[in-house]
Structure 1
Amino acid sequence: MYGQVVSTEKLTPQLVRVVLGGEGLADFEDPKSADAYVNCFFLPPDAPYGVPFEPDAVRDLPREQRPFPRRITVRAWDPARRELTLDIAVHGEVGYAGRWALHAKPGDRLQFKGPADGYSPDPAADSYLFVGDESALPAIAACAERVPSGKPVTIVAEVEDADGEIALDSPGELIVHWVHRAGRTDLDNLLADAVTALPRPDGSVSAFVHGEAAATRAVRRVLLSNGIVELERLSCSPYWRRGLDDEGWRAIKGQWVRAVNAETFPATAGDRAEI
């Protein structure tokens, strides 16, 4: 399956919106969950093929010529227009997905598999907590739009500075805490400290904590060690690791997740992070 770029928009210095359309989306199915994603295939500059391509045909190519898979959140799907919106985190020319998004123009094509479903806010929860950085903002925004009307929703989002803030909306009673990392050195604990400072919520909490690996791990510790979130209502996933490129992180991600899952807390032993 593939989409053709209809338009692009730079939402912030770190976030680019790409809208895909075209006949390649004819079989795309409406995602069921709030945090749905597509597994996109980004072609290297010297790829001797284009989109669409047959996966079997590229499997035996040298590694540097094969497409690089990356999971990208489905920000929105318009079934009437048959258009798919992806908000992609960018870090200059670093990273295959971000670099592609920065240079994408109408008519460019992107091949992918999916969508696959992930987290959705638990409708039975009393309140909702969504935490992450730019890489998680598209999923956080989608989740905030899917909570039951009138219920408390708290978002704690880390961005570079005020230019990285975006408009967020929800049918719930939304409170957003922006955390700016510009000029800070304690980056691993920025989000955890902000979550610790929040008033303790009443009742059950459905939580979504995704983004940088060390930061999500620190937030997870706060939530589980203090019994703020029950294990079955926590979605926690490390998208990337500070100091590593995409391939470096992919090489150690499984080991990292196993180490996180080995951490137990009196009230929540057995919780599992997501790969």
Structure 2
Amino acid sequence: MADKKTLRTARVVRTERLSPSMVRVVVGGPDLADMPPLELTDHYVKLRFDDVKRTYTIRWFDREALEMAIDFVIHGDEGIAGPWAARAQPGDELHFVGPGGKWAPRPDADAHVLVGDESALPAIAAALDALPAEAVARVFLEVASAAERQALPVTDRTEVTWIHRDELGTAYGEALTYAVESCEWPNGDVEAFVHGNADMIKPLRRHLFRDLGVPKGRVSISGYWRTGMNEDGWQSSKAEFVAQMEAEQDGPAGPSDRPAG
């Protein structure tokens, strides 16, 4: 079995418009046969467009059919991966390395809080796919407008809050941050997945760790992107951003280091 650094080539099988600004591209081919087990819900691949790399979450992988779905946010002609996905046709090649990944929901948690914007929507949907039917989940998703909503794999124990930026006139992540800070946090052993714009990660990290005292081992929190930066700019500055954020927030009253469980 090849490792996650192996360069693979797949071909577009079909595409599907999920919303006005999101396209699903399903790729397949023999190079997917030796993909390692995909046991996490935030698995991602590094797509190669000539000398440019772009990171995208795997929405689902069907090992029997040798097909993999990746959801792309489209911003017109802006960027590299989005325009490619908008024009993709069956037979087009896609080169990638991976997968990477770190997180999957624990089925035995008392409740799950899943928070993100468009960039995190595929990982959140994959997490909902993986949860057992009896799992309690509270989901907060921020999108540009009501037209951008998608059908999610929910049960009668899933509560979804959609936030529409066009109705509120807020910047990326602002209304989402307020919604999470204002909600009643579930009781018991709660785990959280909080991903999206880096500018919302800073206040939400403070809220979870300092205000609520959620154990660090119960939270996956990270900025997928940052306003005004492409992926290259964000990845080159992310370590500094995280270090500064942790230095500001982690102190005598900082995040709980209580052992999980």
TM-score where L is the length of structure 1: 0.84
1:203 Cα offset (Å): 0.5
What CA distance in whole angstroms lies between the structure 2 residues aligned with 1:194 and 1:28?
38
The 1:39/1:270 distance shift into structure 2, 3 A limit, reads: farther
Match of 2:250 in 1: 264
1:81 Cα offset (Å): 0.9
Match of 1:160 in 2: 144
What CA distance in whole angstroms lies between the structure 1 residues aligned with 2:31 and 2:156?
35
SS of match in other structure, 2:95: strand
1:188 Cα offset (Å): 4.2
Equivalent residues in 2 for 1:29-68, closer than 5 Å: 29-43=36-50, 67-68=51-52
The 1:187/1:28 distance shift into structure 2, 3 A limit, reads: closer
1:198 Cα offset (Å): 1.5
Q: Report the RMSD for the aligned CA atoms in angstroms.
A: 1.9
The 1:228/1:154 distance shift into structure 2, 3 A limit, reads: farther
Match of 2:3 in 1: none
Q: Which runs of 5+ in 2 are unaligned?
A: 1-7
1:187 Cα offset (Å): 3.8
Residues 223-264 of structure 1, C-alpha deviation per residue, up to 9 Å, x if partnerless?
222225321011011111112223332332221121222222
Q: Determine what percentage of the aligned residue pairs are the same residue.
A: 38
TM-score where L is the length of structure 2: 0.88
What CA distance in whole angstroms lies between the structure 2 residues aligned with 1:41 and 1:270?
38
Match of 1:126 in 2: 110
1:170 Cα offset (Å): 3.5
Residues 183-230 of structure 1, C-alpha deviation per residue, up to 9 Å, x if partnerless?
513544211110122122110211100110001222222222222532
Residue 223 (structure 1) aligned to one of 191, 208, 212: 208
Residue 18 (structure 2) aligned to one of 2, 11, 14: 11
Match of 1:116 in 2: 100
Displaced runs of 4+ in structure 1, greater than 6 A? none
Amino acid paired to 2:70: L
Match of 1:190 in 2: 175
Residue 230 (structure 2) aligned to one of 245, 263, 275: 245
1:150 Cα offset (Å): 1.2
What CA distance in whole angstroms lies between the structure 2 residues aligned with 1:148 and 1:258?
36
SS of match in other structure, 1:75: strand
Match of 1:60 in 2: none
CA contact (8 A) 2:121 2:141 kept: yes
CA contact (8 A) 2:129 2:153 kept: yes
The 1:219/1:4 distance shift into structure 2, 3 A limit, reads: same
1:269 Cα offset (Å): 5.0
CA contact (8 A) 1:4 1:24 kept: no
The 1:29/1:227 distance shift into structure 2, 3 A limit, reads: same
1:267 Cα offset (Å): 5.6
SS of match in other structure, 1:257: helix
Matched, 1:199 2:206: no
What CA distance in whole angstroms lies between the structure 1 residues aligned with 2:194 and 2:156?
18
Residue 96 (structure 1) aligned to one of 80, 83, 87: 80
CA contact (8 A) 1:201 1:228 kept: no
The 1:245/1:267 distance shift into structure 2, 3 A limit, reads: closer
1:172 Cα offset (Å): 7.0
